[in-house]
């Protein structure tokens, strides 16, 4: 048993809440004009102490992914089919709160993969004893952990998927021909495509992928599908290392304050209007020899758009975002500063608000909404 699991976790959560309140109070002090230059040393010291306290509490809250993965072996042993489970990254540590929310969804998803393998074995009706394989690989990158599920069974039939998409008038044959295999597979994750519309034989598999995607997004993670080197369909899950406190870029849109999680930000730029181009009637810009979409924050947040004639600026301010597989530029009214924020839930009534992941309180007591940019590209 991990010693960290023996701690009074309720008290630990309360300490983390207090650290969050301390961060908010520190930010409020920084906004006071009454502080003179000599007082800034006190703020710097407070900043250092607060940061160290936060780091120490987080270290105690962190537990290895092995706490989830140890249950996976029991699922494999219970299978009617001979399956070899290969797991990498058991020792990677994440916030206990993330572990608690992930344990059941990941176990259910593994069960769906095992069930799919068993059903295909029955359909093949072969007497030859072949060991199937499921690979689970976890890697840490920045403030995120990537967990990849891969097996050698056919999770979704591509030809059947394309046929159903065309039959249900979701996309035309011509539109599908312009897309890569990975882009077509990822269509099943769209809200407007149900499992029944996407496939008949594989509707349970698709429902399982869509279900875990919803669970992953609830903790500000992401999920997408990609093809492995062996041409197997791989489910890629991205989860945050920690909850509660994170770094964010503060921006303004229509006079309101918003926060963008810093792990999603590549950089900020000022772009001359002359560099904005049109591709298929959509705004794009060139970024590091690539063409990326330019998204207006007013459209993304469903705000009433300003009259273009009101703006005489020759440049616009943008945030270059990296959502895992694609980059995009988000146009904002004003770029502000970077700061630590305490992430607060929107509650049940507002939890489904589109493109908003939560809220935070900043130094002067103002509430800022946290923009969810995962599906921006």
Residue 80 makes CB contacts below 8 A (sequence gap 6+) with 118
pLDDT(34) > 80: no
Q: What pLDDT is recorded for position 324?
A: 66
pLDDT over 90 for what percent of the chain?
29
pLDDT(117) > 60: yes
Is domain 1-153 given the CATH code 3.30.565 in the classification?
yes
Instruction: Report pLDDT digits (tens) over 70-85.
Output: 899 999 999 988 899 9
Q: 255: helix, coil or strand?
A: coil
Mean pLDDT over each residue of the chain, to the nearest integer: 82
Per-domain residue ranges of the chain: 1-153, 245-375
Q: Which long-range contacts (CB under 8 A, 24 or more apart) does 83-87 make?
A: 83/114, 83/117, 83/131, 83/132, 83/133, 83/134, 84/131, 84/132, 84/133, 84/134, 85/134, 85/136, 86/133, 86/134, 86/135, 86/136, 87/136, 87/137
Which range (91-100, 149-158, 180-189) has the least confidence? 149-158
Instruction: Report pLDDT digits (tens) over 223-264.
Output: 999 988 888 889 999 988 776 678 899 999 999 999 998 888
> What are the tokens at 266?
């590549």
Dmax over Cα atoms in the chain, in whole Å?
82
> 134 falls in which pLDDT band (50, 70, 90)?
very high
pLDDT(148) > 50: yes
367-371 and 256-261 beta bridge pairing: parallel
Q: What is the CATH number of domain 245-375?
A: 2.40.50.180
> 2 falls in which pLDDT band (50, 70, 90)?
very low
């Amino acid at each position: 048993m991990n010693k960290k699991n023996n701690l009074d976790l309720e008290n630990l959560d309360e300490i983390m809440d207090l650290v969050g309140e301390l961060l908010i109070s520190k930010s409020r002090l920084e906004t006071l004009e009454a502080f003179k230059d000599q007082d800034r040393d006190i703020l710097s010291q407070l900043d250092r102490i607060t940061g160290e306290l936060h780091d120490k509490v987080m270290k105690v809250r962190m537990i290895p992914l092995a706490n989830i993965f140890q249950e996976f072996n029991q699922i494999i042993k219970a299978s009617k089919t001979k399956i070899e489970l290969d797991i990498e990254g058991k020792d990677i540590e994440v916030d206990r709160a993330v572990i608690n929310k992930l344990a059941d969804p990941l176990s259910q998803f593994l069960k769906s993969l095992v069930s799919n393998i068993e059903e295909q074995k029955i359909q093949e009706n072969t007497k030859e004893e072949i060991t199937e394989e499921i690979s689970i690989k976890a890697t840490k990158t920045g403030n995120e952990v990537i967990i990849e599920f891969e097996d050698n069974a056919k999770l979704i039939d591509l030809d059947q998927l394309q046929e159903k998409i065309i039959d249900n008038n979701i996309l035309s044959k011509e539109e599908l021909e312009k897309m890569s295999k990975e882009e077509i597979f990822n269509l099943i994750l769209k809200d407007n495509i149900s499992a029944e519309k996407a496939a008949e034989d594989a509707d349970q598999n698709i429902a399982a992928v869509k279900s875990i995607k919803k669970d992953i997004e609830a903790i500000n993670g992401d999920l997408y599908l990609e093809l492995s080197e062996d041409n197997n369909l791989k489910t890629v899950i991205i989860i945050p290392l920690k909850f509660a406190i994170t770094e964010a870029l503060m921006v303004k849109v229509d006079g309101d304050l918003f926060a963008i999680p810093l792990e999603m930000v590549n950089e900020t730029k000022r772009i001359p209007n002359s560099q904005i181009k049109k591709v298929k009637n959509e705004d794009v810009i060139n970024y590091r020899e690539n063409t990326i979409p330019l998204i207006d924050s007013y459209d993304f947040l469903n705000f009433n758009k300003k009259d273009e004639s009101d703006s005489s600026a020759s440049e616009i301010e943008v945030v270059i975002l990296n959502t895992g597989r694609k980059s995009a530029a988000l146009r904002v009214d004003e770029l502000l500063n970077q700061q630590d924020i305490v992430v607060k839930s929107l509650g049940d009534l507002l939890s489904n608000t589109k493109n908003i992941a939560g809220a935070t309180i900043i130094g002067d007591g103002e509430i800022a909404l946290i923009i969810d940019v995962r599906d921006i590209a």
